Structures are given as structure tokens and as C-alpha cells.
Structure 1
Amino acid sequence: MITHDKAKRNDTPSTIAAKSFQIQDVFSLETEDSDGTQLIDQKDNVFVMSNRKSKYPVLQLDLRLISDLVVVIVSATIGGITFSLLGQPVIVGYLLAGSLIGPGGLNFISEIVQVETTAQFGVIFLLFALGLEFSLDKLKVVGPVAVLGGLLQILILMSFCGLTAALCGAKLSEGVFVGSFLSMSSTAVVSKFLVEKGSANSLHCQVTIGTLILQDCAVGLLFALLAVLGGNSGLLEGIISMAKLVLMLSIFIAIGYVFSLSLLPRFLKLMVQLSSQTNEIYQLASVAFCLLSAWGSDRLGISLELGSFVAGVMISTTGFAQHTLEQVEPIRNLFAALFLASIGMLIHVQFLWNHVDILFASVILVVIVKTIVVTGVIRAFGYNFRTSFAVGLSLAQIGEFAFILLSRASNFHLVEGKMYLLLLGITAFSLITTPLMFKIIPAVLHLGKLMRWFPAERENNQE
């Protein structure tokens, strides 16, 4: 629906005067005489479109978006500084800052769709940087466990949750969805920690990254599965949709491989020559290449994130990976903070506080179950217990793609009401526990060595 009014207002002057002042009103930019044409979607999100009084195109400012971005970035900065001073990972500060300013907190930002869209660049640049640091040769080494093991993890969790739902009297479709929901781990958050630790070349990190990539590839397949579970698509239509997605993915990777061997090295070399005086051209070209790859993958029905990762991997096959990483790192850090704060805004603080016992019990259960399942699968592929357990702990959270799956499932009426809010909170808080998991991994592995849980002589061979 398009309207020239900011909103339908039924308030009289007396009722307006009677309203008490709230601190979030400081951040509200709504006025009675707004002239901007606006688009209002089905969820009452407002988008500024154009100025209807002008005959010609003119520059327009979405002051709401500017105000929201100021609030998010300043809040994330304060949260990051606070947790850095406390010696804690700044990522927790970003998440908690977002939860405070979002609709479920102090409500400084009530319409988060535009902020979330902008923050999506954070995931794109995170995966682009991860692709730059990723070794294609080492991916081939962990390929079987990443592809087959990753698929096996998803199937095990879907089967386990589906069977549990059936035994408890719930719908089988709901259980299968929850299993697919739990199978997702956070590529953005985990990759950020792996990059910060500088341990992306260790074996357990390579297996972790490979599994995360497989999960990202599987997201499109899970979207097709949701239509089947929701009753909006038959089994045959769902299988055809998944087959098309696999075909498009194969075509995209093949095109990227050919391009990385032919034109890409020459293009990057030319950009370096043009950037002899300033790195501005090379930086802009790197970002443009990343975004073009992400856009292309999205047009083929694959995820934006996968396209950005493939772009990074393509550059990593040339000799310009490190130089490119140095150019995009500041951009990556800014948008990563924005993305993590936007995730925090999805947390409904009051609801979760009223159900804090169920929340904590569920998060602990998720961590335990995922660690056991992932460790068992990796162990089945011949890796020692130390490596398998490290991968299990690294993937013991629910990823950001689960938010998208949850939103789609809500549209298909697979989950509704309190279950939706609870799953949302479990996902967010499982991400908050990720810094703790990465901190305890070295301690747990050291303890395992002392307790002789795994043979010490095999650790050096696989780490």
C-alpha cells in the first residue's frame, strides 16, 4: 500500500497533550506535515519513496533510516567498548546493545527492516573476508566430511526432532522443521572468531568452515522443504525445486572457477596498477566484485552469502588475497558490528525474562545435543576425538540463517505465537554463548589431554 500520510492518526489535541513523554520519542522523526510518498508493507514497515511535490527526480533523505543507523552504531560502539574493557569479546556487546535498543527492549528502534537490510552487508563482507583467507587445497582435504558429514548432521537432527515431536503428540512437520532449524550454525559469528583467532589454518577450523559452507548451501534446499512441510507444495514440486537449486549452484561454481583461472588475475593486476597512487580504486573494485558475485548468486536462487564467499575464494586462488583483505577489513568490521547489533534487536527481552528458566534450559540442551551429534558425525569420518570435539563445540550454536527459516516457517504457520518468540530467543542467546564456547575450547582440549580422552600422539598430525 502506498500512502502520502505518515500514518493514520486518530489522536485529538487533547489526547496528544495527555500522552506522557517517553525517552524513545527523542529518536522519532515523525511530523504532522510530512510530504514524502511512502510505501507501507503488510507488517506496517514504512519506506520513504519520493517527493510527490517535485516534477523531477531530486535527492531524497530517509531521515528515519539515518536516525536508526546512528542509534545502532553508537549503541554497538558503547557495547563493544564496555565489553572490551571487561576483557570479554566485543561481539557480546554488539548483541546486547541491539537487544536494548530494539522493539523488545527500550524501543528506540521500532521498525527494524531497513536496518536489517543494511546490516546484511555485514554477513556479505564477513564471508568475503573468510573466502580470502580460505585455502581451496585444504577445502579439498576436508571436502568429504564437510559435504557428507554436514548433510548427515542435518538429517540426524531433523529425524531426531521429528521422532520426538511424533512421540510427544505434536505434528511431525513441526518436529522436522525444528530439526532443520537447529541444524544451522552461525557462519558469520563463527567465521568472525576464527578470523580474530588467526587459527583458520588448523584442521578443526577447516572442518568447521567446510561444514558451515555446506549448511549455507543447504539453506536454499531447506526453504524448498518448508513449502512442503507447510502444505503449500507437493512432494514432487519440492524435489524439483531442490534439484533446480543444486543445478544452479553447480553452474555458479563452474563459472566462478573458470573466471578465477582466466580473467580475474588480469583484472586484479590492472587494479593494482591503477592504484599506484591511492588504494581507492582497488578497494572499490574489490567491494564491487564481492557485491556483484553475491547479486549474481542471489539471481540464480542461491544465497547472497554463498556468492560473497565464492568471490573471496576466487581471489584467494590469485596472489592478491592478502592485499584485498587489507582493503576490505575496515568495511567488514563496520558492517559486521551493524549486523550483530541488528540480530540483538530481534530479542524480545520482556517475554524471555518471563520464561527465563525455559530459555536457559533450552539453550543448554541445544548446545549439548549439537555438540554430541556433530562430534559423533566427525568422529565417524575417521577424525580423532580431539578434532571432532573441537568442531562440535564450534558449531554448538544456532546460526543467523535460522532467523530467516523461522520467519518463513511462521508464514507457513509451522510455528506461531510463543513458540516463535522462544525459538527466536534461543537462537539469539545461543549466539551470545558462542564467545564462551570458543574460550573454553582450548581449556577443554587441554583437560582432555591430561585426562587421556584422546591419544596425544595423533594431535599433531591432525592439528
Structure 2
Amino acid sequence: MPDHPETTSFLAPILIFCLSAVLAVPLFKRLGLGAVIGYLVAGAAIGPAGLRLFTDANGVRTVAEVGVVMLLFVIGLELKPSKLLAMRRDIFGLGTAQFLATGVVIAGAAMGLGASARGATLLGVALALSATAIALQILDERGTLQTPYGQRTFSVLLFQDMAVVPILALVPLLAPESSAPGGPDLWDGLRSTGVAMASIAAIVVAGLYLLNPLFRVLAWTGAREVMTAAALLVVLGAALLMEHAGMSMALGAFLAGLLLSESNFRHQLEADIEPFRGLLLGLFFMSVGMGMDAKVILAEAVPLLLAAVGVVALKIAVAYGLERWMCSARRDALRSAALLAPAGEFAFVLLPMAGALGILSPQESGLASALAALTMVIGPIVAKLIEVGIARREAAQPEPEFDPASFDGAHGSVLVIGFGRFGQIATQVLLADGVDVTVIDKDVDRIKAAGRFGFKVYYGDGARLDVLRASGAGQARVIAICVDDRQAALAITELVRENFPLAQVHARAYDRIHAIDLIKAGVDYQIRATLSSALEFGRETLVALGSAAERAEEVRLAVRERDEQRLALQQAEGKLRPADYSKVAPRLTPEPLVTPKAKSRALSAETQDVMDAPERAD
């Protein structure tokens, strides 16, 4: 039997955290300030500066950083390597420029206020970094991570995470010789960099060759809790490996998520991680609020407040100028710059290290840490005020410029998800009969092309519940899933069926197996993209061979009916894979609807190899 006092001491902190979040977050969201401010204030209230229910803020933050790690893993799952490659200009161009320019400006301001060259340089580096958790949480609340400004903000944050290794290697070079008798060892820095590169290579190799087979074996067991344990193992293992290599834990988790972004198990992994991510991320923000040193802040309240406002203003001005230089729209540049304004979580590692190395005095290190914490409080408030100001200005304009990330007016009776070739033709049929249609797609080039023809397509990922709600899925009579990605179509179908049960769901199927999976997921109507066109093609070929049009149409309808009967039979026999592709089951064996009269013969060894190869079901 467990000791009751020990059990009580274990449960009490959890209850305090939960109660604080339950009281503060709804209140601050009601006030329009967002969940992040609610967590920060709740942390300050229960921490050393408030009720002193917790006195070890650093210990809490160490555990809570796992929330940031899981957030980056989920974001990695939502990206693909090809998309990340397309973002390289923003990651290495805008990311490098923002970090260097902001660091130089802050360092110059610090030297102007009397800081030493070494201390000013360290302050510039520490405060130039941005708070990944705060920015991504705000983007997630707004549902704008996939918008142009959301992607640019994420690119800058990703570059900063990758910059952690060289920063850690170079910081000892700023230490005075008195604090480092032997001088900084350059070889140690090079060795650390080599270890970091080897760790990245290990994660890449594991992601490419080990993780998918592992999840297939675990899925075969049918134990859901084991899949959850495996998901946590992958996330925390990658994070721990990166931490031992001297890099950001979040970067390791992001790489693991990125390598699993095209896996059949992506949606299952995201669902397993999501509850842990939300709770631990909230705990992280509360730990930041706890970490604010009340004595230091109260002793230097006015200078610190002015400095925090100045840092936030400088970072917004620099980031805004650079984003405008890289052709961002004014409003997008301002939104992104505001999200990059708070100092980053890494400042709480870098500033104490600077104090230990003698780059900053203990008092300067404490003041700088308090300054970083204050920017984390002021930054989200400024971002909220800027967003409100932009919203009011847009509302005051009679004809606002087209913004694909806005869903104003998106309340058609039919919601079409995906505006590729299939979706375009299906939409034309609806418009020809005067149906009110809302179309969403996440391909920016496709949206721009549609706009040139006077057709408005909203930007949005149909696999996100917040996007579906914003685009009017709750009012739509029919939700047409026309995406050309079978995994995405299944994920959207399950999301729609769970959250919008009154809407009819029509879906484009990739092949026969996909069609059965969609039926299993609960669609009201599905059709294979090639079925009708292939049947039409065959009918016209019969006519060209001399058959009467009526006879050719009868044959087409007979084959179509036979196909539907075969599909129903295969579904009833259970010859299908689960909709989430997470369990092993036999594939369908392709069978002809009409048996040919003559047996096929190979004309060469090569064609015999083709005939012997396994076929795909259509």
C-alpha cells in the first residue's frame, strides 16, 4: 500500500497546475488576450513571486520543455521534406538576416547603455532569438500556421533552433581569460559540432529505415497503448539524443516528425501525441511566469519595463523591415514581426551560462533573465493588439483586398476541399446550376491561378478542424472531398464524420482499396477518379467499332453495375484495410469484371516479367 502523505504530495502539484489553468486560461481568452497570457499570469500567481506554491521554477521548466518538443514533432508531421526544401529561402535567408540584424541592433543599444563589448554581444545573441513555443501556440490558436506569414514565422524559428549548436560552441570564446585559464578550446567546439552532425545523421537514418517497420510491427499487435508508447519513445528519444549532442531538443523532435510526415501512421501519431503536447506546453508557459524574479523586477521595475518595451519594439521594427524587403505584404510582415518579438526559451540557458563564464556579472545576468521573461509577457499582448488593429482596419474597408487566409463569406451549401483537376470540374457542375459553393485548397499557386480567372478559392488545410469550421463546414449540406492524397482524404473524412454528422460526405477515391476504406470511414458517396472516364472511353470505343449507341450504353451501365456489386461484395467479405492504415490486412486481389475469352500470352521475356509482377487494384 502506498504511503498516503507521499501520494498526497505527488497529487497536490498536479491539482494546483490544473486548477490554475482552469481558472486563468478561460478568463484571459474571454478578455481576448489568448491562452498564452493566461498561462503566464497563472504561473506568476502560484510561483515564487506570488503565492509561493512552487519555489523551483527551473525544475518545472525542465519537465515542461517536453511540451515544446512535442509541439515541434507535430509540426514536423504536418510538413513534408519537399515543402521544407521549398522554404529554404525563408529559413536560411530571412532567418539568418533576422538573427544577425536583430542581434547587432540590440548589442549596439546595450553598448550605448554602458555594457561591455563582450556582454553586449552576448545580450544581442540571447535576445535576438525568439520564443518558439509562444509564436507557434498563437499561430495554432489563430489557425494560421499554413498561411504565408505563418510559414515565414516558422521558417525563422526553425533557423534559430538550428543555430543553437554554433552559438553554444562560440559563447566560451567571449569569456574573459581570467574566467577561463586555459582559454577556450577550439577543438572542443569542433568536436561538439561533429557529434551534433552525427546525431542528426542517426535520426535521419532511423527515420528513413527503422521507424516505419517498427510501427508496422506494433500495429500488427493491435495494442493501441503500445502505439502511444512508441510515439512517445520516438519523440523523447530524438529529443534526448539532440540534447546530449548539445543541440535543441525541439530540433530533434522536429526532424523525427518530418521524417514520419509521409508515413501511413502520421495521423495516428499526431492523435497520440496531441493530449500530452497541449498539457505540457501550458505547463511550460506557467513555468516561464514562475521564473520571473519578483525582487529583481520590483527593484528595477521602471528601467526593466522600458527596456522590455524597447526590445520588443526593436525586434518588431527589424523583422518587419526584412520581411517587407523579401516582398511580404504589409499586414503579414507586421503579424510575423510581432510573433518574433518575445525573447526565446534559449535565453534562460544562455544568460546563466554567460554569468558562470564571467561574460556578465551575476547582477547583469539576473537583470537580463528578468528582461527576457518580461518580453515573453509583453510580446503576446503586443501581437494581440496588432491583430485587433489589423482586423478593425480590414473591417472598415468597403472592399478589402483578397486574402486567401481569410474565410469571410465562406458559407456555401457545398464545401469543396481540393481544387485540383477533379475538384475544378466537379465545382463547375455545381456552379452551372447556381449552387453556392465554398472551395478551400492549400496550394498557393493554384489559388493564385484561380484568382486570375475571377474565382475565389480560400487558403486552408481541410485536415484541420479549425479550418473546416472557419470555412463553413458546420452550415454545409454537402462536404465534397476532392483532394488527390488518399491519406488526407481518409483523415478529412474521419474528421468531418466526427464533427459534422449532419453533412453528407462525398469523396474522390484513388482506387478500389481506397474506395472501400472511404466507405468504411462513413462517406455517403464515393467514386474512383478514373472509373467514369474509363467507362465512357470504353463505350465510345464500342461505337467506333460499329456497335449501336444504345447497345454501347447498355454495356457501360452493365459493367458499372457489376463493378458496384463486386465492390459491395468485397466490402461485406471484409477484404479491406482499416481506414487509418495502421493494421496489417490482406490486400485485394484484382479480378476482371468480365473474364476474357482467350488467355493472355507474353510476346517476350520482358513482357512476361511485367505479367508476373503483382498488380495494383483500381
**Shorter-chain TM-score: which interval?**
0.7 to 0.9
Shift of 1:420: 3.3
Range that drifts further, 327-336 or 85-94: 85-94
CA contact (8 A) 1:162 1:173 kept: no
| Structure 2 partner of 1:17 | none
The structure-2 alpha-carbon separation of the partners of 1:63 and 1:216, relative to structure 1 and needing over 3 Å to count, comes to farther
| Structure 2 partner of 1:24 | none
The structure-2 alpha-carbon separation of the partners of 1:449 and 1:113, relative to structure 1 and needing over 3 Å to count, comes to closer
- Cα separation, 1, equivalents of 2:188 and 2:14: 37
| Structure 2 partner of 1:323 | 268
Shift of 1:120: 2.4
| Structure 1 partner of 2:214 | 267
Q: Which runs of structure 2 are paired with 1:128-277 in the superposition (5 Å)?
A: 128-231=73-176, 237=184, 240-275=187-222
Secondary structure of the residue that 2:61 maps to in structure 1? helix
Shift of 1:132: 2.0
CA contact (8 A) 1:116 1:339 kept: yes
Q: Which runs of structure 2 are paired with 1:447-462 in the superposition (5 Å)?
A: 456=401
Read off the aligned partner of 1:291 and give its amino acid letter: L
- Cα separation, 2, equivalents of 1:418 and 1:236: 24
| Structure 2 partner of 1:120 | 65
The structure-2 alpha-carbon separation of the partners of 1:235 and 1:303, relative to structure 1 and needing over 3 Å to count, comes to farther
- Cα separation, 2, equivalents of 1:379 and 1:136: 27
The structure-2 alpha-carbon separation of the partners of 1:434 and 1:167, relative to structure 1 and needing over 3 Å to count, comes to closer
Of 61, 78, 84, the residue aligned with 2:23 is: 78
The structure-2 alpha-carbon separation of the partners of 1:163 and 1:114, relative to structure 1 and needing over 3 Å to count, comes to closer
| Structure 2 partner of 1:296 | 241
- Cα separation, 1, equivalents of 2:182 and 2:134: 34
| Structure 2 partner of 1:368 | 313
Deviations 1:186-213 (A, max 9, x none): 1112122222332221121111112111
The two structures have a TM-score, normalised by structure 2, of 0.58
Read off the aligned partner of 1:92 and give its amino acid letter: I
The structure-2 alpha-carbon separation of the partners of 1:92 and 1:143, relative to structure 1 and needing over 3 Å to count, comes to same
Secondary structure of the residue that 2:163 maps to in structure 1? helix
The reply on whether 1:344 has 2:298 as its aligned counterpart is: no
| Structure 1 partner of 2:454 | none
User: Hey, which of these two has a bigger chunk of helix by percent?
Assistant: 1
The structure-2 alpha-carbon separation of the partners of 1:386 and 1:323, relative to structure 1 and needing over 3 Å to count, comes to same
- Cα separation, 2, equivalents of 1:291 and 1:119: 13
- Cα separation, 2, equivalents of 1:156 and 1:422: 23
The structure-2 alpha-carbon separation of the partners of 1:390 and 1:64, relative to structure 1 and needing over 3 Å to count, comes to same
The structure-2 alpha-carbon separation of the partners of 1:418 and 1:297, relative to structure 1 and needing over 3 Å to count, comes to closer
- Cα separation, 1, equivalents of 2:89 and 2:194: 20
CA contact (8 A) 2:339 2:380 kept: no
CA contact (8 A) 1:81 1:90 kept: yes
The reply on whether 1:401 has 2:329 as its aligned counterpart is: no
CA contact (8 A) 2:98 2:156 kept: no
Q: Which runs of structure 2 are paired with 1:41-52 in the superposition (5 Å)?
A: none
Secondary structure of the residue that 2:87 maps to in structure 1? helix
- Cα separation, 2, equivalents of 1:147 and 1:228: 24
- Cα separation, 2, equivalents of 1:150 and 1:244: 25
Read off the aligned partner of 1:132 and give its amino acid letter: L
| Structure 2 partner of 1:334 | 279
- Cα separation, 2, equivalents of 1:349 and 1:183: 24
CA contact (8 A) 1:226 1:412 kept: no
Identity %: 26
- Cα separation, 1, equivalents of 2:334 and 2:257: 28
Deviations 1:57-109 (A, max 9, x none): xxx96986665444334333332243345454222222112112222333222
Shift of 1:445: 4.6
The reply on whether 1:309 has 2:257 as its aligned counterpart is: no
Provide structure 1 residue ranges, at least 5 long, that are not aligned to the other structure: 1-59
CA contact (8 A) 1:379 1:388 kept: yes
Read off the aligned partner of 1:269 and give its amino acid letter: R
CA contact (8 A) 2:320 2:337 kept: yes
- Cα separation, 2, equivalents of 1:182 and 1:238: 26
The structure-2 alpha-carbon separation of the partners of 1:431 and 1:270, relative to structure 1 and needing over 3 Å to count, comes to same
Deviations 1:216-259 (A, max 9, x none): 12123222232111225699956555544544444333343343
Shift of 1:345: 0.9
- Cα separation, 1, equivalents of 2:77 and 2:227: 15
Shift of 1:371: 1.1
- Cα separation, 2, equivalents of 1:148 and 1:239: 27
The structure-2 alpha-carbon separation of the partners of 1:80 and 1:443, relative to structure 1 and needing over 3 Å to count, comes to closer
- Cα separation, 2, equivalents of 1:430 and 1:366: 7
Shift of 1:184: 1.0
Read off the aligned partner of 1:153 and give its amino acid letter: Q
Larger-gyration structure (1/2):
2
CA contact (8 A) 1:94 1:344 kept: yes
Read off the aligned partner of 2:201 and give its amino acid letter: A
* RMSD, aligned CA: 3.3
CA contact (8 A) 1:204 1:387 kept: yes
Shift of 1:174: 0.8
Read off the aligned partner of 1:72 and give its amino acid letter: F
| Structure 2 partner of 1:25 | none
Shift of 1:424: 2.5
Secondary structure of the residue that 2:376 maps to in structure 1? helix
Shift of 1:406: 1.4
Secondary structure of the residue that 1:175 maps to in structure 2? helix
Range that drifts further, 237-246 or 281-290: 237-246
Secondary structure of the residue that 1:316 maps to in structure 2? coil
Range that drifts further, 89-98 or 158-167: 158-167
CA contact (8 A) 1:130 1:191 kept: no
| Structure 2 partner of 1:41 | none
State how many pairs are aligned: 401
Secondary structure of the residue that 2:146 maps to in structure 1? coil
